[in-house]
Every structure is written in structure tokens, then in C-alpha cells.
Amino acid sequence: MRAGRRKRFGGDSPREVQPLLDDLNALLDHSEEVVVRARLQAGNLAHALKTNLAVLANEAEGEAAARRVAEMRRHIDHHMARARAAAARGLPGVATPVADSAGALARVLEKLQGGGRGGGRVTVTVRVPREHVFAGEREDLDEMLGNLLDNAMKWAGSRVEVASRLEAGGMLAVVVEDDGPGLPADRRDAVLAPGVRLDESTPGSGLGLAVVRDVARLYGGDLRLGDSPLGGLRVELVLPAAAPS
């Protein structure tokens, strides 16, 4: 169960043990129901707020008001991501193959891309073994990887690569690299601060990397920035690993 291969106790068990397993299954059912209900309520609240913010954005007069609305939207997205991760952290039986998430995101973003910094097409190569599994929710992994891939494709010249490796302590590192201009070491702390934009000409909220790091840390992981052999930025998303099914 801790490895994510099953969500409930089952199979043939001695009669003396079965009542305990039944109680544990009932407790797991209750915990899952609480998490689902909390996520639904948070999602409904976020939807209601975003609907009103959309109305305000349409009625806003002046650049200052539009910036305030955009800032409120970013805060909602940020805290929603944190709430989802906090609810899912440590739940038994929750596991997501990284290859499934990375492959699906790469296919979608390649179709929707606006081109790299040079204006040409960007190719995303995914080299993630099937046995590399994240001990968490698919939705959270999609959000984290989606942010990293979207950022990499905006800055890349023509190539983005995704790979993964197992680390000590039961952790998994998902690495996203691009062949763009990279990011100087003295500016990497700044890009991880919420709301900071290093290049106003590049579309995006500026909150992406901060959200990714916060969600990763809620899972007990982290986000590391470095130089890529491709010439651009190397981002390592460190997350807890689950045993492959």
C-alpha cells in the first residue's frame, strides 16, 4: 500500500486478522472521502473567485487595476496548488508513473506551442523509464511538470529534454533541460520568488517555478536549478518515489 500498488487491504486473511483489516479499510475510505470533499470545496471556492475576477478584469479601467486582478488570480492558483498537494501527501495507494504524465504533457505542448525564442518549432524528447513512479497525485505531477515544460519551451531554441533518475532516500529526480540562453546563477533565487518576472517580453505569470517548488516541498521534495549540457537551464524536480507496479 505504501508503494502505491494497492489502495485497500484484500485477499484471503486469517479470521483473527480480518476484523482489523476491515477497520483499516473503513478508516482509509473515510480519509479518502475527507480529502475528496475538501478538494471539491476548495475547487468550488476558487471557481467562484475566478468567475468574479474575470468580471472585474473586463470592467477594470486602467493598467493598475488589471495588474491587481492578475495578482489575485496568481495567488488563487498558488494556494490551490498547495492545498491539493497538502491533502494528497502521504495518502497510501497513491502513485503516478512519471512517463505517462511527461509523455502526455509533451504531446499537448508540442501541438499548442507558439515556437521557441528563435521562432522555430521546439521538439520535446522524453526519456523516462516506466518503473519511475511518483508517490503522489497525477494532478499535482501534471501541474508541476506542465509548468516546467511550458517554461522550458518558451526559452528553448529548438530542444527540450525530459529525463529521470532515482536518488538516495527513496527520492526521484525528474530533469527538464532546454537549449535556450540559460539563467545566470546570481538570478536563480529571484526566479523562484512568487510574482517575479525576469523577462516581461516572455508570456507567463512569473509564478510557475514558485508554485512548483512549494508543491514539491509539501511532498518532501524540492526544486533545483543549474546549467544544462544543452546550453540552457537545467531544472531538477525532486519528489518521493513509489515502487513500480
- Closest by CA position to 98, among listed 4, 224, 207: 4
The two beta strands, 159-167 and 123-127, are: parallel
pLDDT by residue (tens digit) across 190-209?
888 765 554 544 544 445 78
**Ranges of residues in the chain whose predicted pLDDT is under 70:** 2-5, 78, 81-93, 114-119, 194-207, 244-245
pLDDT for 206 equals 44
Confidence at residue 201, expressed as pLDDT on a 0 to 100 scale:
46
